[in-house]
């Protein structure tokens, strides 16, 4: 069997990621390959680090893109910082907090959970109380919970974490480049993100950063990291340092080209202007959705502008309406996960998918579908 | 800092991978994104599986591309098949056998090594002897050792492995689509490859296949796989089955498009014709290199046509000559690893980099450099 010509119908990506990629980013993907040890590629890695540092607001030397999607960035941070027997305090108020908790147990570390209902933030008082009962190596929390649309305030929890002598680990997969992320100011010791959300590059890499304090834990481990591929003690010889890089694995060259182009676009727009755009377009979507009878899951002050979790109005069937949006209008929105399945949609306004035109198309399509329902 | 326009000087990739990608594959990389749960993407995954099955010569249902480079494919196979306390017999005659041994230890499994000198094959008698001293869960071996250019005969070792009740795991990163790989005929229970070698797609994915017997071990585990990202019990819900796929991680959409296009090109050429091309072009390179005083590391009958490990002639300085090839001729060849560093080159003739023109360019450039040395 030889498959036919690749010919997917183009979509407007308004789900939880991937988002639409800019034509310049797609063009970068098609750049002829160079080797992963070519001095030209080392330069690409250096430029990417410098731009990531600016967008993450950090001076961490250990800032690079893991050669796999965001879930691998999550795993990289946890398995490098935790050793068997360590305690880890994980804040869980959605799918991705749960995923961190799962990985902690696979590390042979002792899991301490702080839970909040889906759609609500983790309160600093909960973390303070939990820190009275354990001595964790790290406290981990999700900044932008992709399953619920919550934007978690970080500063106070970061302060409590440091007072307890722990490292502060943050999931910024959905938040980075959509809302402010200040790694150094907020005392974040390790942070991972994804390329396919507000950076609007194709999926396949996970930008991460680790503070010198976190790297000291990594280099001072008593046991080997359980993954060879994601062992930062080995990866460091390739991703940091000067011209003398040594081979670890073969980096995804094209994805690195695309990420570099996507970071250029973020900085050309300006970080603050980008946040303002996400807030403004979110406002338009919010007004339109509420008019149609959708209700936001998250209360106003804790909403991510780029990930809108909304309960469906009565009478609108989840599967039918999403199928019609996709098939008739080529618009993708995200289904609800877990308890939200069938009841909640996750509408993304991320990076290049965050435009007034996207909002207008979606609202008009919904009006049509709801009129016919 | 905003980096300048992406503008790498194009190269001719004649190292150990990545190889040159076909323009159709690069164009596929630039296809606008669709979602990882879009029915159109599920179809891409199904078509990819069907084409991989044909190229790997297998009917294994569990055939897909891991969302990360070849090293992650290696890790996926080992960590899913091994549990703490299991024995694993690993054949080591180069860098990649060593890497497997390293991962086995990170699994908490008991490593039994069979070693051969770099540049030589593992003899079946060695495996038979080792199997008399242990009861391994699996026997693992590298089909095409990228560090030495050895093509390892597999059939007899596969038979011995099955007689001992073990699973047979094969590294086909460099061999697949360059020389024959017969998963079902040779009794291979698990095999991983890479996209950036003889398939000539960009790096970033690792095609793998597991037999029903191997999957029974995976689904029957007593302990959780140490990686969440690479846990086949979780990944299976996304990569196999019908239209009802459930979310695990976000697949690298563009890389999947590119791999699909690369597989089409392999099948359009025909597998046997492709092997014949690799053999024929290898012959031209061999004759030319020997005329220039290069000596092959591996004896004739065990050479991979697509990865030529050759000792440098006296008087030719490794670093200088490779730098001149890259800077003056835009030709990349691979340095020697380990004991071969400074003495051996690895010249790749993989997929789209395997043409008479590539050979002619390289030989002419070498003649020029050696005349001036």
State the average pLDDT over residues B292-315.
98
Q: Chain A residues with CB inside 8 Å of B75's CB?
A: 227-229
Average per-residue pLDDT in chain B?
97
Q: Chain A residues with CB inside 8 Å of B70's CB?
A: 249-250
Q: Does B59 touch chain A (CB under 8 A)?
A: no
Which pLDDT score, from 0 to 100, does residue B244 have? 73
In angstroms, the CA A354 to CA A274 distance is: 10
CB-based contact A136:A112 (threshold 8 Å): yes
Which pLDDT score, from 0 to 100, does residue A243 have? 63
Percent of chain B residues topping a pLDDT of 70: 99
Helix (H, G, I), strand (E, B), or coil: what is residue B166? coil
Element (H, E) at A115: strand A110-115
Q: Rg for chain B (alpha carbons), in Å?
A: 21
Buried b (16+ CB within 10 A) or exposed e, A338-372: eebeeebbbbbbbbbbbbeebbebbbebbeebeee
Which pLDDT score, from 0 to 100, does residue B372 have? 86
Are the beta carbons of B247 and A34 separated by less than 8 Å? Answer: no
pLDDT tens digits for B309-365?
999 999 999 999 999 999 999 999 999 999 899 999 999 999 999 999 999 999 999
Q: Does B204 touch chain A (CB under 8 A)?
A: yes
**pLDDT tops 80 at residue A242:** no
pLDDT tens digits for B95-119?
999 999 999 999 999 999 999 999 9
Q: Does B323 touch chain A (CB under 8 A)?
A: no
Which pLDDT score, from 0 to 100, does residue B246 have? 87
Q: Does A163 touch chain B (CB under 8 A)?
A: no
Q: Chain B residues with CB inside 8 Å of A100's CB?
A: none
**pLDDT tops 90 at residue A241:** no
**pLDDT tops 80 at residue A179:** yes
Q: Count each helix (H run) and each strand (E run) in chain B, helices first.
A: 12, 14
Are the beta carbons of B72 and A68 separated by less than 8 Å? Answer: yes
Q: Does A319 touch chain B (CB under 8 A)?
A: no
Q: Does B273 touch chain A (CB under 8 A)?
A: no
- Pair type for strands B12-14 and B138-142: unpaired
Instruction: Assess whether the previous peptide bond of B18 is cis (omega < 30° from 0).
Output: yes
Are the beta carbons of B229 and A72 separated by less than 8 Å? Answer: yes
Q: Chain B residues with CB inside 8 Å of A45's CB?
A: none
CB-based contact A232:A210 (threshold 8 Å): yes
Are the beta carbons of A26 and B31 separated by less than 8 Å? Answer: yes
Of A9, A35, A50, the CB nearest to B13: A35
**pLDDT tops 90 at residue A245:** no
pLDDT tens digits for A80-138?
999 999 999 999 999 999 999 999 999 999 999 999 999 999 999 999 999 999 999 99
In angstroms, the CA B273 to CA B298 distance is: 24
Considering only A331-340, B71-80, B232-241, which range has the smallest mean pLDDT?
A: B232-241
Nearest in space to B183 (alpha carbons), one of B214, B148, B216, B149: B214
pLDDT tens digits for A298-324?
999 999 999 999 999 999 999 999 999
Are the beta carbons of A32 and B54 separated by less than 8 Å? Answer: no
Are the beta carbons of A1 and B28 separated by less than 8 Å? Answer: no
Percent of chain A residues topping a pLDDT of 90: 96
Which pLDDT score, from 0 to 100, does residue B242 have? 66
A59 or B245, which is more confident: A59
- Start-to-end C-alpha separation, chain A: 41
Burial of B234 (0-12, 13-18, 19+ CB in 10 A): middle
Which pLDDT score, from 0 to 100, does residue B373 have? 67
Are the beta carbons of B250 and A71 separated by less than 8 Å? Answer: yes
Q: Which domains does chain A have, with CATH numbers?
A: 12-17+271-372 (3.90.1150.10), 23-267 (3.40.640.10)
Return the residue of B nearest to A267 by Cα: B2
Are the beta carbons of A228 and B21 separated by less than 8 Å? Answer: no
**pLDDT tops 80 at residue B297:** yes
Structure tokens at B188: 């291979």
Structure tokens at A217: 């834990």
Return the residue of A nearest to B196 by Cα: A250
Q: Which strands sit side by side in the sheet containing A344-348, from one edge to the other? A: A12-14, A331-335, A344-348, A307-311, A295-296
Q: Does B250 touch chain A (CB under 8 A)?
A: yes
pLDDT tens digits for B209-243?
999 999 999 999 999 999 999 999 999 999 986 66
Chain B interface test: which of A23, A24, A30 (most B C-beta within 10 Å): A30
Residue B306 — pLDDT band, cuts 50, 70, 90? very high
User: Beta strands of A165-221 (E only): which ranges?
Assistant: 167-171, 190-192, 206-210
Q: Count each helix (H run) and each strand (E run) in chain A, helices first.
A: 12, 14
ipTM score of complex: 0.98
Chain B interface test: which of A229, A264, A328, A353 (most B C-beta within 10 Å): A229
In angstroms, the CA A82 to CA A105 distance is: 10
Are the beta carbons of B30 and A30 separated by less than 8 Å? Answer: yes
Are the beta carbons of A6 and B21 separated by less than 8 Å? Answer: no
Are the beta carbons of A70 and B105 separated by less than 8 Å? Answer: no
Which pLDDT score, from 0 to 100, does residue B111 have? 98
In angstroms, the CA B298 to CA A168 distance is: 51
Q: Chain B residues with CB inside 8 Å of A11's CB?
A: 32-35, 38
Sign of CA dihedral B243, B247, B249, B252: positive
């Amino acid at each position: 069997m030889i498959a036919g010509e690749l010919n997917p119908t183009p979509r407007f990506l308004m789900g939880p990621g991937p988002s639409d990629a800019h034509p310049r980013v797609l063009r970068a993907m098609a750049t002829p390959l160079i080797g992963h040890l070519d001095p030209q590629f080392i330069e690409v890695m250096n430029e990417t680090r410098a731009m990531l540092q600016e967008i993450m607001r950090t001076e961490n030397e250990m800032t690079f893109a893991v050669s796999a999607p965001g879930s691998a960035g999550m795993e990289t941070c946890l398995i490098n910082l935790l050793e068997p027997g360590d305690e880890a305090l994980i804040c869980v108020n959605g799918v991705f907090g749960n995923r961190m908790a799962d990985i902690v147990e696979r590390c042979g570390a002792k899991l301490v959970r702080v839970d909040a209902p889906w759609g609500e933030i983790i309160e600093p008082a909960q973390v303070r109380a939990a820190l009275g009962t354990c001595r964790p190596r790290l406290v981990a929390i999700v900044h932008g919970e992709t399953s619920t649309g919550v934007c978690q305030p970080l500063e106070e929890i970061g302060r409590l974490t440091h007072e307890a002598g722990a490292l502060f680990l943050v999931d910024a997969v959905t938040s980075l480049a959509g809302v402010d992320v200040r790694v150094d100011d907020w005392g974040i010791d390790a942070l991972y993100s994804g390329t396919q959300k507000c950076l609007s590059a194709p999926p396949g890499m996970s930008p991460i950063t680790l503070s010198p304090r976190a790297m000291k834990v990594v280099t001072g481990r008593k046991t080997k990291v359980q993954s060879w591929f994601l062992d930062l003690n080995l990866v460091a010889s390739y991703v940091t340092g000067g011209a003398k890089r040594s081979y670890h694995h073969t980096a995804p060259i094209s994805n690195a080209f695309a990420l570099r182009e996507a970071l250029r676009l973020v900085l050309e727009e300006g970080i603050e202007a980008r946040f303002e755009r996400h807030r403004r377009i979110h406002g338009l979507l919010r007004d339109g959705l509420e008019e149609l009878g959708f209700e936001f899951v998250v209360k106003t002050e804790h909403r991510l502008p780029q990930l809108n979790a909304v309960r469906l109005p009565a009478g609108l069937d989840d599967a039918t309406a999403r199928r019609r949006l996709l098939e008739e209008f080529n618009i993708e929105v995200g289904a609800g996960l877990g308890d939200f399945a069938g009841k909640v949609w996750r509408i993304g306004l991320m990076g290049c998918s965050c435009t007034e035109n996207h909002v207008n198309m979606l609202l008009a399509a919904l009006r049509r579908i709801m009129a016919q329902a």
